[in-house]
Amino acid sequence: MNKVFTFFILGLLFLVYAKEPEQKPKHQVEEIVFNFIKDLKNDVYAENIYYFEADTELTKEEREYYFRRLEKYVRNNTWSLYFTIIDIYNGHEDMADVILKAKSGDLVVFCLGFWYDVNRWELDAYEFPALTFDRPEDQSYEDYVQQIIDDAKAVGVEYSKRETIKKQGTYYIEYK
């Protein structure tokens, strides 16, 4: 009986400590990104790629190429919330960057905009090592993402102080 009880307790401890902690998104944009990641992993875009507004400057072939690379990059990792930036313009949450980090240290950035004509947040762009928009050629991707975070911290306030922003400003959510 003692052996059964011991194995039962050890099994419970294994389940409790082996399970990855679940993060609770604090903002709708984070939920949107997690849902997109889930859709990528479930082959929702196997036939037709997701249309990102920022990709309009790319050819159709380039859009397909970079999307498939993003898809592979995302599938090869387990992602956690790392840092979220929300910009407020004219008193409304207008733009957001959601940065995810993998256990391996890999980073991916999703940019969202609030589309006023349909009254909802939409994924507008993504950045990962293979495709960035403003990164200087001599800057590593990791340094580039860290600069985004540092810039947000320099001008923004923490999530808990977001109510202090009236018309324009930035707040951020930092995950440990």
Model pLDDT for residues 114-146, shown as the tens digit of each residue: 999 999 999 999 999 888 877 888 899 999 999
Residue linked to tokens 């993003």 = 70
Q: What whole-number distance in Å separates Cα of residue 119 and Cα of residue 142?
A: 33
Contacts for 133 with CB less than 8 Å, ≥ 6 apart: 54, 125, 127
Contacts for 61 with CB less than 8 Å, ≥ 6 apart: none
- Least confident window among 7-11, 75-79, 169-173: 7-11
Q: Are strands 92-102 and 107-115 parallel, antiparallel or unpaired?
A: antiparallel
pLDDT for 9: 47
Q: Quick one: average pLDDT of 87-92?
A: 95
Q: What whole-number distance in Å separates Cα of residue 37 and Cα of residue 29?
A: 12
pLDDT for 130: 84
Average of per-residue pLDDT values in the chain? 88
Local confidence band at 1 (pLDDT 50, 70, 90 cut-offs): low
- Least confident window among 10-19, 69-78, 127-136, 154-163: 10-19
pLDDT for 3: 58
Phi, psi at residue 92, to the nearest 5°? -120, 140
